[in-house]
Amino acid sequence: MARAALLEQAGATDVGEHLGHVVEDDRVVTHQFRCTRRGYRGWHWSVTVARASRQKQPTVDEVVLVPGGEAIVAPAWVPWKERIKPGDLSPGDLLPIADDDPRVVPTYLAGDADSRELAREVGLGRPRSLSIEGRNQVASRWYAGPGGPEAPVAKSAPATCSSCAFLVALSGPLAELFGVCANAQANADGRVVSVDHGCGAHSEAQLTRKQLPQALPDPVLDTITRDDLETF
Ligand code: SF4
């Protein structure tokens, strides 16, 4: 009966063998059939039949095509806001944050009681600032990123950014751990680096004797003239 109901919906060429059945509930069973339709490898037809209590004849509840374990299916949908990555914004694009974004708080909630009160009354500064959660998120991201101590360039650096003349200090709560690299020759020029990051363009980097360019031999002066050549 399940196969007959399925053949009414899908052509006979799209229906393969019976794969098995699952008992869903009392008097409710789902039968599965292989789908042989082109492009649907790994999918199967699922036909659910049920018999109401005190009835002799079952009826068909639904006929659907469902993906099996080996089916090729689209990846799970992700909201566009979560899909945006750094570099995706084009000029003119707007990306407003949600009112309840945990990364920011109204400025009058940050700082000590006096400064909060002053900011609230006078309306100084920005309406919102980084929250503690926002700070933690950015600190973790920067520290684990290419400007952190685990970056390959930092692992083989002669010294850390904390002793480099090109490290420009930040102000505010992230200043203890991060600064901005201001060395035009460094990969990190203009980017945030942690104080324990480092690179070969460190202001105090010195070449070892082995790394110094080899001294050139004394020049040889060619004194042979045209006449000398003819004599030979
Ligand atoms: S030049 Fe290198 S060591 Fe100096 S601040 Fe920039 S990244 Fe750090």
Q: Which residue has the higher pLDDT, 119 or 229?
A: 229
CATH code, residues 2-67: 3.10.450
Q: Is the pLDDT of residue 123 over 60?
A: no
In this prediction, residue 118 has a pLDDT band, given cuts at 50, 70 and 90, of low
Distance CA 136, CA 59 (A): 58
In this prediction, residue 119 has a pLDDT band, given cuts at 50, 70 and 90, of low
Distance CA 135, CA 104 (A): 9
Average pLDDT, the chain: 89
Mean pLDDT for the stretch of residues 23-35: 95
CA 186 / ligand 1 centre spacing (Å): 6
Taking the model in full, what pTM does it have?
0.60
Nearest-CA residue for atom 4 of ligand 1: 202
Domains of the chain: which residue ranges? 2-67, 98-130, 143-194
Report the pocket of ligand 1 as residue ranges, CB < 6 Å: 161, 164, 166-167, 181, 183, 186, 188, 193, 197-199, 201-202
Q: What tokens were used for 87? A: 């570099």
The whole-number pLDDT of residue 30 equals: 97
Mean pLDDT for the stretch of residues 123-148: 88
Q: Is the pLDDT of residue 203 over 60?
A: yes
Own/partner long-range contacts of 188-192 (Cβ < 8 Å, ≥24 apart): 188/146, 188/147, 191/146, 191/147, 192/142, 192/147
Q: Which mutation among 164, 178, 192, 195 tests ligand 1's pocket best, with the greatest number of atoms within 8 A of CB?
A: 164
Among positive and negative, which fits the CA dihedral 21, 22, 28, 33? Answer: negative
